Structure 1
Amino acid sequence: MIRRTITPRPDWQARVEAEGLVWHSADGRPYWDESACYVFTPDQVAEIETASAELYRLFLAAGQAVVDSDVLLDRFAIPRPFHAAIRAAWEAEPPALNIGRFDLGYDGRTPPKLFEFNCDTPTALLEAAVVQWTWKETVFPHAGRCNGLHEALVAKWADIAPYLPATVHVAHVEDDAREDSVTAAYLRDTARAGGVETVPLLIDAICWDHDRRCFVDADDRRIAACWKLYPWEWLAQEAFAPMLLDSLSQGILWMEPVWKMIWSNKAILPVLWELFPGHPNLLPASFAIPAGDAVAKPLLSREGANVSIRRGGTILAEREGEYGDEGYVYQSLYPLPEPAAGCFPVIGSWMVDGTPAGIGIREDGLITGNSARFVPHIVEG
């Protein structure tokens, strides 16, 4: 795995905006950063894909262990009223895209290691599926790729289309940076290509109709199915949480399914390590502060918020945020490679319904946060 410095396309901003990536820069720096690229060999790509498929198998086993245990569901800080809904959805397997992004540490020489699984509201989707593909075709047309994400999403929509209502709402928050709106718009594009009609919806516009006992949108249309870019742990704390449970019992389809509250929670990491100690794709993890070097992670944090790296009893790096009251887990420290000064890459390995579908790479400091840069990749050799 080599980081290669290259010259950006002179009109790269216009090109990525044309593909929908309007959120391509932040604070005067490129978020989409094509001044470099990562070069993988086919064997390295195969190793990442094999590890990702194996991790998905481990998550299935860990998910079952959590579903079977009220003690663990409580340890995950999941509200008691949602326990039954999670169990029901886990057993019923309602129609879903079942997409997610394994964040992995990988140096190209030793087995990839799991950091976490972003599988409820994963972002960096458009840039991984589309933008880096067209970049590669333009800049390195003869290179290979590890990128079948777009095709996998379209195929999955087509697969579940017969089980969906006539219209699926696609909901997100109204965000100034437009990261969420870009992701939601891209999901709508893939749905349309897969034969599924969608309508956009802002989370704040969702209302509960007491007479009809259903959620409706701003135009008073009943919401029969909704793919939402809004985490379940936030939904569970909303004033309409009891109505949400009511809608689930009526068979209203929410995507991703409510059981994603388990897999997207950092508390899954100690469960995985207890079930599969010493597994080559896992890092030791526990609920208790370990004696050695470790990374402290809140159960529900996002974009690196409130994460700290502890080495030799000293906090080496940390990020501020609003998480942590729900508890922490501690994962052994993995020495990320530093192919360029201050550039520590984390590989996002995308999964669609249990199958590896492509990768995206983000660079940041020691803790990957919302200031990370997306750097494209190619495959050579």
Structure 2
Amino acid sequence: MKRVVVNERPNWQADAENCGFTIHSINDERYWDERHAYVFTLDEIETRLEDPSATLLQMCYSAVDRIVADAGLMSRMAIPPEFHGAVFRSWRNRERDLYGRFDLAYGGDGPAKLLEFNADTPTSLFESAVFQWRWLEDMKARGEISRTADQFNSIHERLIDALRFLPGPSRRMHFAGILGSEEDLVTLNYLVDCAAQAGCEAMLLGMADIGVDAKHWLTDLQDQRVDCLFKLYPLEDMVREPFARHLPATPTRVVEPLWKLALSNKGLLPVLWDMFPHHENLLPAYFDDDPRAEALGETYVRKPLLSREGANVTLVNHQADGGNYRVDGPYGAEGYIRQALRLLPRFGDDWTVIGSWIIAGQPAGIGIREDDTPITRDTSRFVPHYILD
């Protein structure tokens, strides 16, 4: 793995706008950044990223087995007690999920380490699946990189294949989210397009516009039953919505399913460490009130159970600045975990994290984010990659 300087395409902003990637810049700062790229060997991709991602996923499934069978553990992970039975049934029935993303610390100098699993509503999907592939093909055509270059990226194809099986006999899907959020809308519009390519009738729906009928079906603005709902909205928030009490009984297929409450939670990390201690792809992790957490000493990362985009994460005595580094946010009341500190690899002045995408239970590609701080946030820059042997 190395970072190389490459020439920006003169028309990249127009290309982004033309394909619907309107969040290529955030607050007049680059979000998409093609001034450099990351280069991997094929063996590195397969043995250091793809294979470990498949292994981590199987470990996560084993963790779900344990979590859903333990009401005390679910409560410790801030899963509402009234949903414990529904989460158990959702997992027992093997309700289909669509996608997730492992965040990995990897710099080419040892095993990839799991930082967290974004198992519900992970961002940067379109740029990972589509726009970095467009960049690769364009750069090869321009002669900027070798025509033999490839990319670890089957995300788009796997999404379409997965969406063929989600909606059921009606072939109708609603895609819900906060439609006023440009970032969410880019992802939702992309998934609607994927669903259409999969032969589905797909439509957008605002979260505030979801209704419920007398038989617990979720409904849309036309009072039509929603057969299958993909929601780009956190499950931990959804179970607190006014219609939440209908979720355990609804015939509507909801994606992501309720069992993802066990994975989209930093409490997963201490469960994994307890089940698979000293695994080369894991970091030691404990619930904040676990006496064993003291073994981490004064150098660790403290994360809220339900934090997103780095919010309320604290690096304690991290090696970069010789003190604490913290990102503000609204989380923390639900509890914390502590994880052994593994600083992200640094290339130049940038801290780099690899997002390893899981589509319908299979590793499907990577997306790379950079930040000038050691905590990845929603404004962290997206940088493309390619494979060259």
Q: TM-score, normalised by structure 1?
A: 0.94
Distance 1:299 1:312 in 2: 21
Q: Which residue of 2 aligns with 1:189?
A: 193
Q: Which residue of 2 aligns with 1:246?
A: 249
Q: Deviations over 1:64-115 (max 9, x none)?
A: 0101101111111001111111111101112332x11000000112000001
With 317-326 and 163-172 compared, the bigger mean Cα shift is at 163-172
Task: Trace 1:6-155 onto structure 2 (pairs within 5 A).
Answer: 6-46=6-46, 47-97=48-98, 99-140=99-140, 142=147, 143-155=149-161
- The one-letter amino acid paired with 1:332 is A
Task: Trace 1:125-274 onto structure 2 (pairs within 5 A).
Answer: 125-140=125-140, 142=147, 143-160=149-166, 163-176=168-181, 178-209=182-213, 211=214, 213-247=216-250, 251-274=251-274
Does the aligned pair in 2 maintain the 1:292–1:332 contact within 8 Å?
no
Distance 2:54 2:41 in 1: 19
Alignment pair present for 1:298 and 2:301:
no
- The one-letter amino acid paired with 1:188 is V
Does the aligned pair in 1 maintain the 2:158–2:360 contact within 8 Å?
no
Q: Which residue of 2 aligns with 1:325?
A: 333
> Percent of aligned pairs with the same residue?
42
How much does 1:312 deviate? 7.1
Unaligned runs of 5+ in 2: 142-146
Does the aligned pair in 2 maintain the 1:337–1:345 contact within 8 Å?
yes
Q: Which residue of 1 aligns with 2:377?
A: 369
Does the aligned pair in 1 maintain the 2:155–2:365 contact within 8 Å?
yes
How much does 1:189 deviate? 1.1
- The one-letter amino acid paired with 2:358 is M
Distance 1:246 1:347 in 2: 38
Distance 1:254 1:165 in 2: 15
Does the aligned pair in 2 maintain the 1:165–1:225 contact within 8 Å?
no
Give the 3 Å change call, closer, same or farther, for CA 378–231 of structure 1 in structure 2. Answer: same
Q: Deviations over 1:39-74 (max 9, x none)?
A: 111121012001100100110111101011011111
Task: Trace 1:353-368 onto structure 2 (pairs within 5 A).
Answer: 353-364=360-371, 365-368=373-376
How much does 1:315 deviate? 4.5
* Partner SS for 1:237: coil
Q: Which residue of 2 aligns with 1:286?
A: 286
What is the alpha-carbon root mean square deviation over aligned residues? 1.6
* Partner SS for 1:96: coil
Does the aligned pair in 2 maintain the 1:95–1:164 contact within 8 Å?
no
Q: Which residue of 1 aligns with 2:144?
A: none
Q: Deviations over 1:338-372 (max 9, x none)?
A: 1111x111000001122110000011121001120
Does the aligned pair in 2 maintain the 1:295–1:307 contact within 8 Å?
yes
Distance 1:166 1:153 in 2: 15
Does the aligned pair in 1 maintain the 2:368–2:383 contact within 8 Å?
yes
* Partner SS for 2:261: helix
- The one-letter amino acid paired with 1:303 is E
Does the aligned pair in 2 maintain the 1:308–1:315 contact within 8 Å?
no
* Partner SS for 1:360: strand
Distance 1:362 1:100 in 2: 16
Distance 2:323 2:61 in 1: 34
How much does 1:207 deviate? 2.0
- The one-letter amino acid paired with 2:270 is P
* Partner SS for 1:245: coil
Distance 1:304 1:286 in 2: 18
Does the aligned pair in 1 maintain the 2:212–2:219 contact within 8 Å?
yes
Distance 1:287 1:169 in 2: 37
Task: Trace 1:305-344 onto structure 2 (pairs within 5 A).
Answer: 305-311=311-317, 315-341=323-349, 343-344=350-351
Distance 1:352 1:370 in 2: 21
- The one-letter amino acid paired with 1:294 is Y
Unaligned runs of 5+ in 1: none
- The one-letter amino acid paired with 1:156 is A
With 5-14 and 344-353 compared, the bigger mean Cα shift is at 5-14
With 275-284 and 345-354 compared, the bigger mean Cα shift is at 345-354
How much does 1:25 deviate? 0.3
Does the aligned pair in 1 maintain the 2:318–2:324 contact within 8 Å?
no
Distance 1:96 1:121 in 2: 11
Distance 2:280 2:318 in 1: 24
Q: TM-score, normalised by structure 2?
A: 0.92
User: What is the count of residue pairs matched by the alignment?
Assistant: 373
Q: Deviations over 1:194-227 (max 9, x none)?
A: 1221111011111233x45432211222222100
- The one-letter amino acid paired with 1:180 is D
